Amino acid sequence: MRTTARARFIRVSARKARLVLDQIRGKPVGEALATLEYTPRAAARLVEKVLRSAVANAEHNHQVRDLDDLRAKAGEAIPAQKSLRVLDGKNT
């Protein structure tokens, strides 16, 4: 049973988010949430929000009640496409 949650179009670089994701990958959910709570990075708040959403999805979709059964198995930060500035109707 695998449950996913996704955050898209967030304003943090993929490289900075990967640093936080590497800290929690493979840990039980309780330990991962505790780690994120004390991580002094802006990306940690966003990753924590996504992890809590995945836990809620597991509780609702798969009737999982015990958090000790869940693990933060995989997380990935994919770079977004670059935003373009428009000057005089031309993309530069």
pLDDT digits (tens, 9 = 90+) for 11-67: 888 899 999 999 999 899 999 999 999 999 999 999 999 999 998 888 888 887 777
pTM check: above 0.85: no
Q: Provide the pairing of β-strand 86-87 with 90-91.
A: antiparallel
What was the pLDDT predicted at 9? 83
Nearest CA to 2 among 70, 53, 77?
70
pLDDT category of residue 87 using cuts at 50, 70 and 90: low
Cα–Cα distance between 92 and 90 in angstroms, integer?
6
Task: Name every residue whose Cβ is closer than 8 Å to that of residue 34 and which is 6 or more positions away in sequence.
Answer: none
Cα–Cα distance between 77 and 92 in angstroms, integer?
27
Q: Let me know: does 3 contact 62? Beta carbons within 8 Å.
A: yes
What was the pLDDT predicted at 11? 85
pLDDT category of residue 91 using cuts at 50, 70 and 90: low
Task: Name every residue whose Cβ is closer than 8 Å to that of residue 63 and which is 6 or more positions away in sequence.
Answer: none
